[in-house]
A and B are shown apart, each in its own frame.
Chain A
């Protein structure tokens, strides 16, 4: 008995044992599926062949400067929260060959780095990560210019989002409205309940993949359960932005000499972890790699970080941001203030990775509170959070 044709935004129930069928369906359409896997004691994004590759039974405990992945044996595949990896690794690789320069008589010729762009299906994209992909879309795909490498991967991308029911202590997507529930921008959305996944169709491509799988209509009780769990997840996140998001640019850009910058600079190690794990950070540099015979050079684009002193190096010596304070301020004001003016959206999605992976345990929410406080006393209180 064939199921009726699924409309857009329809939600159905997919029994958990059918997860493998979803993976097979994606592979049959030539997608390489990437998803969360457990490797080296942390969650890493990598190839997922079968549901056994997923972190079923794991939970994550995250705090400022602390990350622990624990196996408790429960039955959920996606009870974890993101680890140090982000999906930008697939869309904006850390090291990307742009082109080769080959000697040609007196001069050189440009030879495109012939790479077939990967056709990826990302499985388990959290709402905050979905938001981050959309933020990076604004950075890499603009009206006047779009990054051809990013676009090639992005156009072929299939997104299976997953609603977040177990936010970590460091999460604050609710403060931005970017989670714990995904509201659009995916091909399929899964909400994990005990025996089934609720699957929501987000696009034509998503409908096409889901249609032939063994789903059942989702009863009202299942939908209510999902709603309740999402509400609980939302309520469980207590971090709040100290001011409304649209006030951050004016406030931060007018407090560039606030004494609190000195205080946070004493703790910051300028290690660049936050920029590595941040799903929206996009600074990049260029490296030329010369072949041994000297006749071919490959020009690479590589990840860079505003915490790297070289980034702000000035020609002829000197550095525009010679202190840790200057670099920390650059990162925070770019992420929370300048970004809005440059791209029309905030640069942060509330995933909390920067808080977890900072070896000094610096909490951006606390820092923002200290910097945007109305009075000195508030600033001192905020800094001690």
Chain B
């Protein structure tokens, strides 16, 4: 079990009970792609806001009274934790309500939770970030970190795809990322009018690279089947399991390893993940329905 140290221990607003949230004000709701919006939140409690720190890949449990809670990755820059961005896909009643909030609304927040991407420990390596759809959201903090510390890393490449060009998340930022030395290779499953970029699936973007297996690390997040193929492509290029990190997603009710919902084999995705090093995950990842 890979228990890495996390940004800050989660502190409850009401330790005499479970799941009591802090409150955050919605500063902005920015529509991203169809069905997806980014909420910018600001914790109301001054002390909590001043002390809040998160690491890339961690998540918060966001809630609305009457709707329950959901685990949403933090997608902002870890160096600027006074405001927290959460990219939400409207997939159920809670997330749909979140994407329809107006600035000034209040959202319950608990966190941060989860094992982060170990990017700080991988100085000097080449990093390949492979992601699809909203899977880019939990990796955006990694990109922010890499942009700030670009000289400390080798080649940094983003392989990213979505269903259609309109579904490419954070499209307005790619230019800035490229400017800061991050190679961005895009693809879409289905082309649309005016799209002159690649059409195909994300794993195929690997064919454009020649990674050095002993100094490359792969970070991947996205539909699980995409990650299966990412692992195959990494293996085909002899990248060892210890250099592949995946972020998993499971139904979470507590986010803290108490409610039993998010298990994958012996792991709780909220406590032992969501970021897993692939050697720990390998015995379980391909088992159907685990």
Contact = CB atoms under 8 A, between A and B. Distances in A.
Q: Establish whether A and B are touching in the complex (CB under 8 Å).
A: yes
Interface of A: 98-99, 101, 106-108, 110, 112-113, 140, 144-145, 147-149, 249, 253-254, 256-257, 282-288, 290, 297, 299, 301, 304, 306, 310-317, 320-323, 325-326, 329-330, 333-334, 337-338, 341-342
B261 to A, nearest CB: 6
Interface in B17-31: 17-21, 23, 25
Given A256-B290, A283-B259, A98 B70 contact: no
Given A253-B283, A287-B68, A112 B17 contact: yes
Interface in B34-84: 44, 65-70
Contacts, number: 137
A107 B287 contact: no
Greatest chain B CB density within 10 A among A108, A323, A325, A337 is at A108
Contacts of A113: 17
A310 to B, nearest CB: 8
A113 B108 CA distance: 17
27 contacts: A98-B17, A99-B14, A99-B20, A108-B106, A110-B13, A140-B258, A249-B266, A253-B265, A253-B266, A283-B259, A285-B259, A286-B69, A286-B259, A288-B68, A304-B261, A312-B251, A314-B250, A315-B249, A320-B289, A321-B289, A321-B290, A326-B290, A330-B263, A334-B263, A337-B266, A341-B1, A341-B266
B108 A108 contact: yes
B220 interface: no
A334 B253 CA distance: 18
B66 A325 contact: no
Interface residues of B, number: 49
Interface stretch (B88-96, B115-123, B198-206, B210-218): B88-96
Contact of A112 (B14, B67, B261, B265): B14
A290 B108 contact: no
Nearest to B1: A341
B117 to A, nearest CB: 20
Interface of B: 1, 9, 13-21, 23, 25, 44, 65-70, 89, 91-92, 95, 104-106, 108, 249-251, 253-254, 256, 258-261, 263-266, 268, 283-284, 287-290
Contacts of B65: 101, 108, 288, 290, 297
Contacts of A110: 13-14, 20-21
A151 to B, nearest CB: 10
B251 A288 contact: no
Contacts of B18: 98, 147-149, 301
A304 B17 contact: no
Given A101-B65, A107-B23, A107-B44, A325 B260 contact: no
Contacts of B283: 253-254
Nearest to A282: B260
A330 B289 CA distance: 9
Contacts of B253: 284-286, 304
A244 B195 CA distance: 62
Given A301-B18, A323-B289, A329-B289, 13 more contacts: A107-B106, A112-B14, A283-B259, A297-B66, A306-B260, A311-B261, A312-B261, A315-B95, A316-B89, A317-B91, A320-B251, A337-B266, A338-B266
A101 B106 CA distance: 12
Nearest to A316: B91
Contacts of B67: 288
A243 to B, nearest CB: 18
A325 B289 contact: yes
A310 B268 CA distance: 17
A140 B256 CA distance: 12
Contacts of A329: 289-290
A264 to B, nearest CB: 14
A315 B91 contact: yes
Contacts of B268: 342
Nearest to B248: A320
